[in-house]
Structure 1
């Protein structure tokens, strides 16, 4: 039996014990969730400041490094947060627990116009957003440990 070094699928990027990919198609939160599941992952769930920075950098590289609030479309992507059960009580989609570490922008979450889903913006801050907004999606999966016989 030979055990290979843990690796990510082609097109995914590793950080910590996970693999990440940004789906660069404009999807609503529900479509993004399904897209992540279709490629073998789930919506990204940010557990540390380092992971938040990593995903922010990945987002900004995907937009060619562009990070300006003057842009007509601000780079942003869905993450696995929602508050469908209790308004303004955001939880992770996989565990239904509140995040241990948060990176909300000033004044967020604010439920401005029925915003129930969480997004990560190019600034590294989180925002609550209308789940039907079409933006990119961050997906995460555990590193794969392949064993060969």
Structure 2
């Protein structure tokens, strides 16, 4: 009984329909064999129809097996975020409020988890998620309300790169007048007063920071 149930559960609609017809014809055949009106001609007709249905059914099963083989198999193990981290799409994030300069945030991110680094924002969806989250925290303290992210042009003035990835920005959301690249404004923050758009500022300032694990 269990084996029959498993076979039916894995069938497509067409195969299931054929199986139902096959069972129906078998039951009719069994009833006719008990009837006084049953003769050799009837038996031959029923046998022929059953053979045709069986052939169709086997063809459908063969098609179904080929379809199953062609389906992509997800071999990637399920990965969840560490405790205290927040997941969005294929990344985990943690928000550090033990404020310090840009290097402090970098070091803290690298200590948080084996593969964690400074936040790298590569899409509008990710940027919106991060900005909405920090807006929701209602931060007002001067040193904790803005957040370091992993952007810096310290290596080459005007060429902003993502720390730990050696990659130039492919997506940006600069605030008004930014980057202004004045003085030592070599590091990037999410600036509260511009709704957490990006601003370049001195790396020696004290701010909160955001770390990311890319799954």
Give the TM-score normalised by the residue count of structure 2. 0.58
| Structure-2 separation of matches of 1:46 and 1:72 | 24
1:23 maps onto 2:96 in alignment: yes
- The more displaced of 3-12 and 83-92 is 3-12
Match of 1:46 in 2: 121
1:1-149 alignment to 2 at 5 Å? Answer: 5-40=78-113, 41-62=116-137, 65-66=138-139, 73=142, 75-122=145-192, 123-143=195-215
Q: What is the deviation of 1:93?
A: 0.9
- The more displaced of 131-140 and 91-100 is 91-100
Match of 1:147 in 2: none
User: CA RMSD, aligned part only?
Assistant: 1.8
Quick check: which one's helix share is greater? 2
Is 1:56–1:121's contact at 8 Å kept on the other side of the alignment?
no
| Structure-1 separation of matches of 2:97 and 2:141 | 17
Match of 2:14 in 1: none
Q: What is the deviation of 1:11?
A: 0.7
Q: What is the deviation of 1:95?
A: 2.3
Corresponding residue pairs, total:
135
Q: What is the deviation of 1:4?
A: 6.4
Partner of 2:98, secondary structure, is: strand
| Structure-2 separation of matches of 1:88 and 1:4 | 40
| Structure-2 separation of matches of 1:26 and 1:32 | 8
**Structure 2 portions without partners, runs of 5+:** 1-75
Quick check: which one's strand share is greater? 1
Give the TM-score normalised by the residue count of structure 1. 0.83
Partner of 2:185, secondary structure, is: coil
